[in-house]
Every structure is written in C-alpha cells, then in structure tokens.
Amino acid sequence: MPDPTVLDTGAHIALTERYAAHNYHPLPVVLEHGEGAWVTDVEGRRYLDCLAGYSALNFGHGHPRLLARAHAQLDRLTLTSRAFLNDQLGPFAESLCRLTGKEMVLPMNTGAEAVETAIKVARKWGYRVKGVPEGEASIVVMEGNFHGRTTTIVSFSDDKVARDEYGPYTPGFRTVTYGDADALRRAVDDTTVAVLLEPVQGEGGVVIPPEGYLREVRAICDEAGALMVADEIQSGLARTGRTFACDHEDVVPDVYVLGKALGGGLYPVSAIAADQAVLGVISPGSHGSTFGGNPLAAAIGHEVVAMLEEGTFQADAARLGRVLEEGLRPLVGAGLDAIRVRGLWAGLDVSPGGPTGRELCERLLARGVLAKDTHGSTIRLAPPLVVTDDEVGRLVDAVAASIG
C-alpha cells in the first residue's frame, strides 16, 4: 500500500488516474494542507485558493470555530439515524429557520440531494395543496442551470457533457431563458408547481440576472400559485455580500435550497427551508436520509449559522467584492471581454485570441493561484471570505499577468 506521505506530485497523479474514475479533469496540483485562504501541495508550494470548493469553503480552510465545534462533537456522538432523535438537530433546525425566516427545515447531505428534495416537495405540494392532477406537475427551470448531476437533475440540464447518454430522462420540466420574465410568464400554467432557479448562475460563469428579474419571478409565481424555489447552494450564506443572493432584490422565495458552505468545508450538510404550509406535506417515511440531520452535521451547521448571524462575513464579502471589481475592471478590453462580480464572486470572460479558460487557470496555477474554468473561455473566482485586501490584490495581479 503506497504511503501518501512519501509520494510526489507525479506519483499521486498516476495513482489517482489509475484507480479513480475520470469524472474530473483537475489541474496538475496535489494538495495536502489548507489554512484560511491558502493551500499547500505535496511539494511544499503554496497557493491562494480562489475556488473555495465552489463556495463550500466560504469560511476558509480549517476555520478555528468550526474545527472546535466538530472536534467537540466527534468526541460525543456522530450518527444515530433519524430513527431516533439527537440533541443537535433541534437547535440547528431552529437556528436555520431563524436565519432563513422560514418555519421548517428538512436536512440532507449534498446539494444535489437538497435539490432533489425540493423537487419532490414541490410536486407533492402541487398535488396535495394546489390540486394538480396526479402525474401532471410541471416545474419551470432555466437555460444554463446547474443544480447537480443526479439522473433527474441532468434531465433538465442543457450541458451536453453532464446530460448525454444518461437517458431516459425524467419528464416534467420546462426550460426558459434565464433573465427573461416574459418567457417565464408564458411557460407557467395550471400544472406549474414551482419555478426553480439560481439567483446567480454559478456554473454558468457567475451569470447575474437583470435588475428586477427576481422580483418579477416572485410576482409571476404568486400570480400562478406556484412555489419560487431558490437554489442558493453556491450563492447563499454570504458569498454575494448578503446572507442570500435573493436579498439583493429583497425577494423571499418559498423554498431556500442550501448546501456547500452550510457544512463549513468540513462535512457535507444541506437542507431546504420553507414554511409549514409547504414542508408540512412531508410525512414519516415519504422522504429521508441515513445521514441527513446527523449530530455531527447538525453541530457544524449550527456553528455556521451562528457565524453568519454576526453579519461579518456578509460585510467582508461585499467590501472585498468591490475591491476585486475595481482591480479587474481595467482588464476589460485588455485581455478580458467582460467581468461579472456579485460580492466576492466573479466570472471572467477571456477575449477572443487569448488563452482558453483552462489555459488561463494553468497560468494562474504557475503564479500560485487556484481557479476553475467553465464553458471554454470563462473562469470563476470565489476566494474564501477570509481573504485580505492584499490577497485580493495578489489575485488581480496574477490575472493581469496571465491574460497577456
């Protein structure tokens, strides 16, 4: 059995390529340690982590408060299954209801599970409450969406790589152009039980809808008697400078879908939050999860909520986002076609003739910055919310030096 402590980068890559399925195409760096906004590879090189686990690491690597809470719970109780109660779930659920302003939560593990849960709840609500005939419920989704990679979710994805050769596909979804309220209004009808959308499309390249769009979605859902379901898995929990991205338009969805940062970068924790009139359709045995709501997950999630309730991370993301945007703006027309910034989250479109998104990420890697490409010529930047002004400046300098 190989000893991971003595393998170099090449050996780790070879081992992973040989024994792990090739469902990712990672950059050629093997990480072994992380602290705050920084990670270190097996050769001792340090990198500024500007992906932050797709926002799962909003609080950085190894945040002391989260580690302390996890360590304390590890010594007490980690799993009971929901066949029994545990002393961590109730306090966590109450705190998450307070944060979201909702009456109930349903805890799961991964983001995709939370989205699946929201879909199931919306359909059951549609049959039980709205009165849609059984088997006819429809959900309107958006072009360019990313909600996960389960069979049902890829059924309404327009990403060919994620979707192709996984059929037959789950029916019941209608797709409209993101940001087009008129298209949405035409798509809803008496069978529509929900509109599912990301307030900011993360995988799409940090795509921000037109001002007022979320308010129009809210109004259309109200008019149609459908649930507005906001996937805040990446955009929520302080990433955009507000607790939720919907807050930028003072919009409250019927269902929040949460994950990633809810586990503090330590453990998979997800949930949906809604009022009793929606989540009350769930009855014992109709939905569940062996690990969902376990004591360790609940303890970590409770600490995450406590940290967010202080408001510091939201304020830091808003301020540092302005610093990031001010630094990137001069690069538009000088290697970048466009930038989109919402809080401490940015999408950068590389100008034609410049490096591909992958090539730009490789150049950034050589300069000690980790980032992720998407859709060919776009990269995403999402450093942990604990970065400093100097570290944001270092990121901007690295991008400037890499796009030429």
pLDDT tens sequence across 206-240: 999 999 999 999 999 999 999 999 999 999 999 99
E strands present in 240-279 = 255-258, 270-274
Domain boundary among 309, 343, 366: 309
Residue 309 in contact with residue 61, Cβ under 8 Å? Answer: no
Q: What is the pLDDT of residue 322?
A: 98
Residues 208 and 346 in one domain: no
333 burial via Cβ count (<10 Å: 0-12, 13-18, 19+): exposed
Determine the Cα–Cα distance for residues 144 and 151; give it in Å rounded to an integer: 17
pLDDT classification of 393: cutoffs 50, 70, 90: very high
Determine the Cα–Cα distance for residues 266 and 244; give it in Å rounded to an integer: 21
Which residue reads 């050589």 in tokens?
A: 366
- Whether residue 340 is predicted with pLDDT greater than 80 in this model: the reply is yes
- Whether residue 4 is predicted with pLDDT greater than 90 in this model: the reply is no
Q: What is the pLDDT of residue 83?
A: 95
Residue 339 in contact with residue 112, Cβ under 8 Å? Answer: no
- What are 386's two structure tokens? 């604990």
- Mean per-residue pLDDT for 4-22? 94
Residue 335 in contact with residue 404, Cβ under 8 Å? Answer: yes
Residues 271 and 148 in one domain: yes
Residues 328 and 300 in one domain: no
Describe the crossing of helices 295-309 and 312-328 by its angle, rounded to 10 degrees: 70
No. of H helices and E strands in the chain? Answer: 13, 15
Residue 55 resides in a domain? yes
Residues 87 and 225 in one domain: yes
Q: What is the pLDDT of residue 6?
A: 83
Residue 234 resides in a domain? yes
> pLDDT digits over 18-51, tens only?
999 999 999 999 999 999 999 999 999 999 999 9
From the list 274, 279, 223, the residue with the least C-alpha distance to 253 is 274
Residue 382 resides in a domain? yes
Sign of torsion over alpha carbons 78, 79, 85, 88: positive
What is the percent of the chain with per-residue pLDDT over 70, rounded to a whole number?
A: 100
> pLDDT digits over 305-317, tens only?
999 999 999 999 9
Residues 299 and 174 in one domain: yes
| Identified catalytic residue from 49, 59, 92, 231 | 231
What is the percent of the chain with per-residue pLDDT over 90, rounded to a whole number?
A: 98
Residues 138 and 260 in one domain: yes
Q: Checking DSSP bridges between strand 38-41 and strand 46-49, what pairing results, if any?
A: antiparallel
Here the CATH number for the domain that contains residue 31 is 3.90.1150.10
Q: pTM of this prediction? A: 0.98
Determine the Cα–Cα distance for residues 179 and 342; give it in Å rounded to an integer: 16
Q: What is the pLDDT of residue 257?
A: 99
Residues 329 and 299 in one domain: no
> pLDDT digits over 147-188, tens only?
999 999 999 999 999 999 999 999 999 999 999 999 999 999
Residues 336 and 236 in one domain: no
Residues 129 and 237 in one domain: yes
| Identified catalytic residue from 146, 156, 291, 313 | 146
> pLDDT digits over 271-327, tens only?
999 999 999 999 999 999 999 999 999 999 999 999 999 999 999 999 999 999 999
Residues 271 and 328 in one domain: no
Domain boundary among 285, 309, 333: 309
Determine the Cα–Cα distance for residues 84 and 271; give it in Å rounded to an integer: 19
- Structural domains in the chain (count): 2
- Mean per-residue pLDDT for 354-376? 97
Domain boundary among 263, 289, 309: 309
From the list 316, 162, 147, the residue with the least C-alpha distance to 232 is 147
Residue 231 bears catalytic tag = yes
Residues 297 and 185 in one domain: yes
| Identified catalytic residue from 124, 130, 260, 372 | 260
Residue 71 resides in a domain? no
Residue 146 bears catalytic tag = yes
Q: What is the pLDDT of residue 42?
A: 98
Residue 70 resides in a domain? no
Residue 347 resides in a domain? yes
Describe the crossing of helices 357-366 and 389-402 by its angle, rounded to 10 degrees: 120
Residue 176 resides in a domain? yes
Residue 72 resides in a domain? no
- Whether residue 87 is predicted with pLDDT greater than 80 in this model: the reply is yes
Residues 11 and 98 in one domain: no
Q: What is the pLDDT of residue 200?
A: 98
3-state secondary structure of 138: strand
Average pLDDT, the chain: 97
Residue 242 sits in which domain range? 77-309
Here the CATH number for the domain that contains residue 195 is 3.40.640.10
C-alpha dist (Å) from residue 8 to 12, 13, 380: 6, 9, 28
